[in-house]
Amino acid sequence: MADALLLTTCAAALEAMEECGYLAGDVEPAALVTAVGAVDRGGGVFHALNSQFRHKLTPAGRRTCRAVCQQGHDLFFTPPRRWHDAVCSLIGARCYLASRSWAVARSPLVSIASSNVGKGHRELPEWPRILEGILQQAKQRRWNLLLVEGTTFYTELHSASLLVDVPTTWLNLPLQQESLAGWLERCTAMLEERTSRFERDSPMDPLFVSPLVVGDALPAQSPLSGRDLLATTLADLVVAIHVRRGGRVEYALHQRLADQRFPPGSVWMRVPPADSRYPRGAAPIDAWLERGAVGWWLGRQETAAAWSAPELAACTTVARRLGEPVGSARRVRPQQVAARAPDACPESAGQPQWLVHCTRGTNGPKQSASLVTLSEAWNGTMPMAIDPLQNLALICRQGRLRANASLLRTSVACVCFSAVDLRELIARRRFRSHLGRWDWEPYGVLISRQQLERLGGRPVIYGDQDEFQRLPKMLRPFFQAVGKQGQWREEKEWRVCGDVDLQKLPWDSVHLFVHRKWEALRMARLSPWPVLWLED
């Protein structure tokens, strides 16, 4: 950064500190810049103020400087890298509140860049194995992963930080229309109080990036749209998984590759296998290699073993007394428990005796998948692409229906059911283009309504936004909007909060159902519960 711009940034930061009530006297920008340059061990502005300008600090300023430094963080006027001029030319002059380990570059800061690959990442079904390969490289090469909330694969990489021993840094962006003083006060308070949810839930170190210190906002870049540019610019190395033509990630990588002040070979671009298809809109790899990117691909040693369904060996059934849980079973002679589904499920006092839960197919684990599911995908113990029948086999193996909140109004995860008769429900199914899937599939689980009621299950409450606001908090997870034409009432939905552990239910209160007879005969070899088929 040019000396004049550095002094201007320093002067703006000092003015912001005065607004925050941290400084009681004037500090010359040139003197502070010199003092920061003399600080060793990765120290920055707060370290210099606390050691050489302590008499200029207010009691609040001393407390803040001490607290931030004790957390291992400091304030910097420029990225502590040789190519800081290139960084400033792309994202402008900014201040950074970051860990001192960033300043001494103990580990390379690595950003994982990717354009959107569709809902549930369905355009890149092998994504778990790709991330697994990256995580293996991160452990071997001692990378520090730079994560930005809202970018593709953020949730999965955040979950990975809880499963594997890879250091991670969370890039915190400035709020819209936030002043430098407001940013400084907000970020120092987060470090002082340690109240950030990211610091509570994971070992991620925060890296706070300030608003622009000099000039207006970058053209067509808001804090929301500039996150890809900030991540790819501040990283020491960018590992790109998929880049869509005309997207923000492509723009950010072009800018980095075009500036020769960045280290050569600091952009890695994934080379898809010869037998795989490019995700929609992907740019050819040759064009990136010509610009200076380095190609990378998953070697065999980085690829998990292919998933295979559980072995369908000898048919066995189990003898139980009615009402006993699955765990109390005793193995007896080989036998299959499978039958054709009845034309109509029985009712009692006008209420259905059985509620329907349909399984769906996915192209790999969902974004909201549990850590157990993600771990299974990375370790190769579950398939990359799961059809509804395979999903039902996984439910048999795990013995539970897992809850999620991806399409619900609240954050409380639930398992959803329908009180519509099974055959009627499947007959009326439609393809929902906005979700990219069928609303119902001819595979799933039937559970006794009486048993679900004992688990706290109940019908959803249909209504509009006003009715939602009037509901007590404990009932809000059971709310469902009626839809523009009231169409969602037809589903007669029920919900249970949290997972449903099938193994704790009486054996005769759970049935599986599949589409074809041959599927039922095979599933009966895996299932501890009876299996019904819909069509011969």
Distance CA 125, CA 283 (A): 18
In 379-434, alpha helices (H): 388-398, 422-427
User: Residue-wise pLDDT tens for the chain (536 aa)?
Assistant: 557 888 888 888 888 998 899 888 788 888 888 888 776 656 788 888 888 888 888 899 888 888 888 888 889 988 888 898 899 889 988 999 988 888 777 789 999 999 888 766 667 777 777 888 888 888 888 899 999 988 888 888 887 777 777 888 989 899 888 899 999 999 988 887 764 444 444 467 889 999 988 754 444 443 334 888 999 999 999 999 988 888 889 999 999 999 999 999 999 999 887 655 555 556 678 889 988 999 988 765 443 333 333 333 333 333 343 344 444 444 443 344 788 888 887 777 678 889 999 987 765 555 445 555 555 555 555 554 467 888 888 888 888 998 888 778 888 889 999 999 999 998 888 776 665 667 788 999 999 999 999 999 999 999 888 888 899 988 999 998 887 766 778 889 999 999 999 999 998 899 999 999 988 888 888 888 999 999 88
Per-residue pLDDT, 357: 94
CB atoms within 10 A of CB 233: 23
The residues near 427 (Cβ < 8 Å, ≥ 6 apart) are none
Rounded CA-CA distance 169/52 in Å is 30
What pLDDT, on a 0 to 100 scale, did the predictor assign at position 239?
95
At residue 222, the pLDDT reads 39
Give the position of tokens 């994934």.
270
User: Rounded to a whole number, what is the distance in angstroms from the first to the last CA of the chain?
Assistant: 74
Rounded to 5 degrees, what are φ and ψ at 528? -85, 0
Q: Residue 111: exposed, middle, or buried by beta-carbon count in 10 A (0-12, 13-18, 19+)?
A: buried
pLDDT of the residue at 380: 52
Pairing between strand 414-418 and 144-147?
A: unpaired
Query: Tokens 């369904």 label which residue?
Result: 309
Confidence (pLDDT) at 375: 57
Sequence-separated (6 or more) residues with CB below 8 Å from residue 206: 73, 97, 98, 99, 169, 170, 172, 187, 190, 191, 196, 198, 199
Q: Which amino acid is at 438?
A: W
Q: Are 266 and 127 in contact (CB under 8 A)?
A: no
CA distances to 297, 331, 350 from 274, rounded to whole Å, are 11, 48, 58
Cα 424–Cα 429–Cα 431 angle in degrees, nearest 5 = 180
pLDDT score for 276: 56
Residue 9 near residue 77, CB atoms below 8 Å: yes
pTM, entire model: 0.62
Write the DSSP symbol of residue 299: -
DSSP characters over 108-130: -EEEEEE----GGGTT-TTHHHH
Q: Which amino acid is it at 368? A: S
